[in-house]
Amino acid sequence: MTDRREYDRIRRAASPLQLDLIESFAAGKLARRDFVRMGLALGLSSAALAACGGANSTTPSGGSATVATGVGVGGGSAANVKQGGTMKIASVAPSSPLDSVKMVDLAAYGLVAQCYEFLVYTGGDLQLRPGLAEKWEPNADGSEWTFTIRQGVKWQDGTPFTTDDVVSTMERLVKAGNSALKGVIESGSVTAKDASTVVFKLTGPNGNFPYLVSTDNAQSPIIPKALADGTTLDKAPNGTGPWKLSKFDAKVGATFVRNDAWWGGKTPLDSVEWVFFQELQAQVVALQSGQVDAIVQFSVTGGEGLLNNANLNVIALNASTHRQVWMRTDKGLFKDPKVREALAWTLDRDAMVQTLFKGKAEVGADTVIAPVFPYADASLPGRKKDIAKAKSLLQAAGVNGLTATLHAVKLQEVPDLAVLIKAGAAEAGITLNVAVEDTGSFYGKSWCPESPADPPCSGAADIGIVDYGHRGTPDVFLNAALSTGGVWNSSQYASTEFDAAFKAFQASIGVDAQKKSARAISDIMQRDTPLVVPYFYQYLSAHSKKFAGMATTALGQVDVTKAGLVA
């Protein structure tokens, strides 16, 4: 706020939402980091943010210049890399076809993001950066968003990228029931106003909307209008992005070569090779032995050896990735909220973070408003292990000697989490028998069986542990897992109070309002405890120190546009 006149000019030009944000920051209600993050979401330009005193925060930790080019996802550095060369990246094989609208796994997200581009990019720091959209702006209440589309961008086959491509992609997402956009936009909500402007008319106000068309919503990259529904990227390799898919075998790997016509400039690397592995330990060995140069993602379980390897750079991103221990609220042993809360008090969360993640996680307090979100309230009471409290809650519920089967998906640390939960619960007299199930039978039988289909997940087990990937906003967690009739609502939680609080959160604009409404959600979640959320863990990726400039999102969308061999 050095230049008073410039500041005033920005204030006058700002929309009401932007103004609210600027004033909150000026009044000291908001940390600089959060101000920048929210300002970007509301479409304030980097220059405007800088003028208001938020400049320093726009530079990602790696000291990169990625903001300006608009393609970096954060952390990458353009300095000191040689031209030319190939980078080999280890990944698990994609478990779903490379159909951007329908893919569901990290490996597919990463592959698709090399060719197709998003309107908006969410960096590892959760700040938004322009992609195929140069800027965006909400109306007064945040129910209508106007995106200005980048001009002069071409598809790899030479045809120009237009606003029609954006509209048709959004229609496809609505049709496919995209988990982030469901209930936010409908068919016909998105229209092209002119050749450079697309207008999104939302079903209600949403202050976080740009996140929903960013890398955070992994299924939302813009694909050509001409593409037939369901065509996979490998069948029709034609994106706007920096890399062209030249070879793909779903079991072996993928090769990408530089797209010389890319609007973002010339990438230092000539090509990028993705090598697929079935298991994490094979990837770890490959990276340690120099057979590959980077790994898309690894977990502390099994990848512990990479954390202290002097030849590697580990990228650790605070994320909203978490596990939910759902408990059926409509029937069965956990119907009484006191019983659910009792279980929540038996967890030794600090020990879990230490044992399972060697500290690379944050303790959760049974809310999905992760500490990484700017509107998370740090004063929310935690849930430290308290067996006496658990016992008295059980007593109050009139429960004596509870026995249940705890279903756990065979994925990373989840079976170990189940074991630790079991041990804590036993101290309060709750007997949990752990049943570890492979992904197929877990998702299909225990978590959200297809039948009975209405309401969704009504065939779910009484209690289980399911994994949730990172999102830049909690909307998907709140919408799918907790709203009445939500598509992933395995606890069958149905609370009109919660639904109203969620609506209020989506409609809340401005810092104070968002923080307050998010806190209201957390309070309801703690009181009703439909879920236990023990921790939020960091997303971990690593690359050889021979390379520099690699960046990634917590959804596996690796960005190597700035990467190259160290000069």
Partner 1 sequence: MTSTPNSPGRGGDPVGDPVENPVTHTHDLTEPTVAETVHGVIDSALDEQVPVPAGPPVSAAAAALTARKAARRETFRLLLRRPEFVIGTLIVAFWVACAIGGRALAPKDPFTGDPFQTHASPGSEYWLGTDRLGRDVLSRVISGARDVLLVAPISAVIGVAVGTILGLVMGYFRGPTDDILSRIVEAFLSLPVAVVGLLALVVLGPSNWTVIGVVGLLFAPIVARTVRAAVLSERELDYVQAARLQGESAPYIMFREILPNVTGPIIVELTVRIGYAIFTIATLSFLGVGIQPPSPDWGLMISEEYSQIINGYWWPVVYPSLAIASLVIAVNLIADSLQGVLSR
Q: Which spans of this chain sit near partner 1 (rule: CB under 8 A)?
A: 279-281, 284-285, 288, 301-302, 304-305, 350-352, 354-355, 358, 410, 415-416, 418-420, 422-423, 433-438, 440-441
Residue type at position 420: L
| Per-residue tokens: 354 | 């230490």
What is the H or E stretch that residue 408 is in? strand 402-409
Smallest distance, partner 1 to C-beta of residue 445, A: 8
Smallest distance, partner 1 to C-beta of residue 452, A: 19
Smallest distance, partner 1 to C-beta of residue 394, A: 21
Smallest distance, partner 1 to C-beta of residue 284, A: 6
Task: Identify which of residues 276 and 357 has a Cβ nearer to partner 1 in the complex.
Answer: 357
Q: What is the dihedral of CA 100, 104, 108, 113, to 10 degrees?
A: 50
Q: How far apart are CA 60 and CA 94, in angstroms?
A: 29
Task: Identify which of residues 235 and 410 has a Cβ nearer to partner 1 in the complex.
Answer: 410
Task: Identify which of residues 248 and 442 has a Cβ nearer to partner 1 in the complex.
Answer: 442
Smallest distance, partner 1 to C-beta of residue 410, A: 5
Q: How far apart are CA 387 and CA 398, in angstroms?
A: 16
Supply the DSSP string of 272-317, one letter for each residue. EEEEEESSHHHHHHHHHTTSSSEEEEE-HHHHHHHHT-TTEEEEEE
Q: What is the dihedral of CA 280, 286, 292, 296, to 10 degrees?
A: 10
Q: How far apart are CA 207 and CA 261, in angstroms?
A: 35
Q: Give a three-class secondary structure readout of 454-469.
A: CCCCCCCCCEEEEEEC
Task: Identify which of residues 421 and 551 has a Cβ nearer to partner 1 in the complex.
Answer: 421
Task: Identify which of residues 175 and 410 has a Cβ nearer to partner 1 in the complex.
Answer: 410
Tell me the sheet residues that pair with 146: 137, 199
Task: Identify which of residues 180 and 295 has a Cβ nearer to partner 1 in the complex.
Answer: 295
CB 14 within 8 A of CB 22: yes
Smallest distance, partner 1 to C-beta of residue 285, A: 5
Task: Identify which of residues 53 and 415 has a Cβ nearer to partner 1 in the complex.
Answer: 415
Task: Identify which of residues 445 and 546 has a Cβ nearer to partner 1 in the complex.
Answer: 445
Q: How far apart are CA 64 and CA 377, in angstroms?
A: 30
Smallest distance, partner 1 to C-beta of residue 323, A: 16
Supply the DSSP string of 511-543, one letter for each residue. HHHHHHHHHHHHHHHHHH-SEE--EEE-EEEEE
Q: How many residues are recorded in the chain? A: 567
Residue type at position 85: G
Q: How far apart are CA 415 and CA 409, in angstroms?
A: 7
Task: Identify which of residues 316 and 419 has a Cβ nearer to partner 1 in the complex.
Answer: 419
Task: Identify which of residues 229 and 304 has a Cβ nearer to partner 1 in the complex.
Answer: 304
Q: How far apart are CA 527 and CA 383, in angstroms?
A: 12
Q: How far apart are CA 184 and CA 460, in angstroms?
A: 26
Task: Identify which of residues 420 and 521 has a Cβ nearer to partner 1 in the complex.
Answer: 420
Beta strands in 123-183 (DSSP E): 128-130, 133-138, 144-149
Task: Identify which of residues 466 and 511 has a Cβ nearer to partner 1 in the complex.
Answer: 466
Residues ≥6 apart with Cβ < 8 Å to 209: 138, 142, 145, 184, 200, 202
Tell me which residue of 122, 69, 503 sits closest to 319, measured CA to CA: 122
Tell me which residue of 336, 340, 339, 312 sits closest to 326, measured CA to CA: 340
